[in-house]
Chain A
Amino acid sequence: MAAKIYDVVVVGSGAGGGTLSAHLARAGVDVAVVEGGPKVNTRTDFNTHAMPFEFPDRHIPTMKAGKPGYDSERTRGVGGKTMLWNAVAWRQSERDFKGKTFEGAGEDWPVGYKDMAPYYDRIEREVGVCGNLDHLEDLPDGIFLPPVPMKCSDVLVQRGAAKLGLKIIHVRKSTLSRASRTRPACHFCGNCMAGCDVAAKYNSFDVHMSPALKTGHLEIFSNSIVREVVVSNENRVTGVRYLDRTSMKEGEVRGRSVVVACACVQSVALLMMSKSRLYPDGLGNSSGQLGKHFIPHMTGGVEAFLKPMIGKKLTADEGFLDHAYLPSFMHTRKRDYARSFGAQFGYQNRRSVGWARQLPGFGKDYKQSVKDRFPSYLVFSPYGEKIPDAKNFVDLDYTQKDSFGLPLARRHVFWTDNDMKIFNDMQNWSKEVLLQAGGEILSVSDEPKTNHELGGCRMGEDPKTSILNAYCQSHDVKNLFVVDGSVFPSASEKNPTHTIMALAARTAEHIAGRLKKGEM
């Protein structure tokens, strides 16, 4: 078996690798997925319904006792981060793809909305995305299952926002609001990010890869941490070398092409570690652009209590975490910065009670105050777009190795003037919306945090300023592809996974077509 040469070797099994490998297998292409983590059973392996007091430190571990998996960067599991994501699914708009053309800031993608729309359609039909048709210019509608009703807290926020002329919409999520043939509808237990034990929420293993295994064209090498993509002297990748996660033995999987899809920073790191005579600075990095233009989302946050809900009876309203969304609106308004932000809110889980210590006083009144505010606690989190900039980058620190002997990836994040203007503005708008909604503000974060890692291996028309072309194909090495958040030339403010999946579907179609024509 060791001699088998697959059509495509895919590194990573999350939103990018999982979607792409299933699409390829269904098209009759022989695929090997090489994943650093173990196989995970969503039904039995996660602490989905645990309570904090079941553990001495009151921290609910992701995995059940004795189950390996989501404990560090290089050892997650089959399904990648889709196992623990919140499933928010937005289509990017033409403005997001062509930010430089629209505003002179950011970077244009080599694809536009028209190129991507058919693939968004396909993903929505396959996985089931619930949402409402809102007819917004900056947030294209799609093919949706019925939206889930808003929470009472959302209705309050919606009324407050309306006073400011802002529209609050139903969230759109890759979570079933109606049962499909193979998956039940969401049961609103509020534990989405602890691993959905019924797969009502999309994960790439249960929804994409597991059915694709039946084609006989998909093979999964779990517990196999890829440390190098191998390139021949003829400038073609020939497969990957990996370390077995438990035995630490070296192994190799060979293929006619390789797709790197092991999450933004790790994909960049893998290409950097894949040094060769042809590519001494990292595979496919003749431009020197690898790792550059790292553009994670910038988040702020306000915690508040909604006064109309203080002292009210606790209801089972955790739902599937956030049920509503404040879409970006600043592109229609006068402002002194480029790009925009949107906001998620109400995605706190009731198990998180760390806010209680922030209330003033002590004694009986304090205790009553916590109890009264428990049903009314709300987290409001705006997400802003970071403009790509050469000062924001990822590199490797060879002086620090992880337990597998691999160098640690470092993120260098630098808040630019534009970033801070967006941050301050989105914090102010968040506070204002909450005040209008009857919010008693508890805390306001005073500096941006990062989330949704993007960029570092960007697509582009010009091989001098980008790593990949419009099909996520390396400019340098024609049978090498990358499909995950690292390929984003600009970030938008929208949660990226839906776009990663649409890119994976598009790339899979491209690879299958080229294989058919004998071009690999």
Chain B
Amino acid sequence: MADRREALRIIGAIGATCAFPFSSGELYGQHAHPPEGKQADAGKPQFFQPGEFAVISRVADLIIPATDTPGAVGAGVPAYIDMVVRGNEQHQAVFRAGLAYLSSQSDGDFLALTEVRQIAVLTALSNAVDKGDLKGPGEKFFRAVKSMSADGYYTSKVGMSVELGYHGGTVLSEYPSCEVPEH
């Protein structure tokens, strides 16, 4: 690999603007370019077959389950995932391979496993991903489906306003001073 300091970089036509210097500032959905509209609903699944969609929905709901607030399915996350995946061939390959992996771990039917077994399959993948191991199709799939579930959930009305309690900018007549005790 070339020495980074010696690498000539052409940044391209669109310049830097005031933006967060992190991938965290971006969402998967930003690159999905769905048709314009002002509704939160990402529409009916167009990429996943009904059986696949059921598995994706189950996995998303295991990643962000219903607690005292709705989980991923209750927030419409599976439809968001379908919207992101339908326009991107790389995502499609990752999801196809991931669904095949889940199938191979469950005698062909992930949904037929008990919840404990389903969680065990995902835990192995999650632990590997958290250690930075993205070699296998299962790991690649888990990272993608978790990222999209988190993006979709925490930008939904349920996730942002009900779960996190954020309702948008509040208008204040004065900014309060902070009273943080010194330890």
Contacts and interface: CB of A to CB of B under 8 A. Distances in A.
Contacts of A190: 169
Contact of B62 (A188, A316, A363, A410): A363
Contacts, number: 225
Interface in A63-81: 65, 72-73, 81
A350 interface: yes
Nearest to B63: A362
Nearest to A314: B165
B50 interface: no
Given A301-B20, A362-B122, A443-B24, A58 B29 contact: yes
Interface residues of B, number: 78
A416 B24 contact: no
A450 B38 contact: no
Contact of B24 (A49, A318, A354): A354
Contact of B119 (A56, A151, A299, A363): A363
Interface in B140-173: 146-147, 150-157, 159-161, 163-166, 168-173
Given A86-B18, A445-B21, A53 B12 contact: no
Contact of A443 (B22, B36, B62, B122): B22
Interface centre among B8, B24, B25 (most CB of A within 10 A): B24
B159 to A, nearest CB: 8
Interface string A340-383: 00000000101111111110111110111011001000010100
B172 to A, nearest CB: 4
Interface in B18-49: 18-27, 29-30, 32-43
A515 B170 CA distance: 49
Interface centre among B16, B39, B64 (most CB of A within 10 A): B16
A57 B33 contact: yes
B4 A149 contact: no
Dominant secondary structure of chain B at its interface with chain A: loop
Contacts of A414: 7-9
A319 B175 CA distance: 7
Interface centre among A159, A363, A379 (most CB of B within 10 A): A363
Interface in A249-269: 265
A300 B176 contact: no
A58 B150 contact: no
A190 B172 CA distance: 10
Given A364-B67, A371-B164, A453-B15, A379 B5 contact: no
B29 A59 contact: yes
B96 to A, nearest CB: 21
A309 to B, nearest CB: 9
A316 B171 CA distance: 9
A56 B154 contact: no
B112 interface: no
Interface centre among B20, B23, B43, B176 (most CB of A within 10 A): B20
Contacts of A451: 16-19, 21
Contact of B169 (A49, A265, A303, A420): A49
22 contacts: A57-B34, A59-B27, A65-B36, A84-B18, A148-B175, A188-B175, A189-B170, A191-B169, A323-B175, A360-B126, A362-B64, A363-B65, A364-B65, A411-B10, A411-B12, A414-B9, A415-B5, A415-B7, A416-B5, A420-B4, A445-B22, A451-B21
- 7 A-B pairs with the lowest CB-CB distances in the bound complex, closest first: A189-B169, A316-B170, A357-B150, A58-B155, A152-B178, A354-B24, A52-B155
Given A49-B168, A362-B146, 4 more contacts: A58-B156, A314-B164, A353-B164, A354-B27
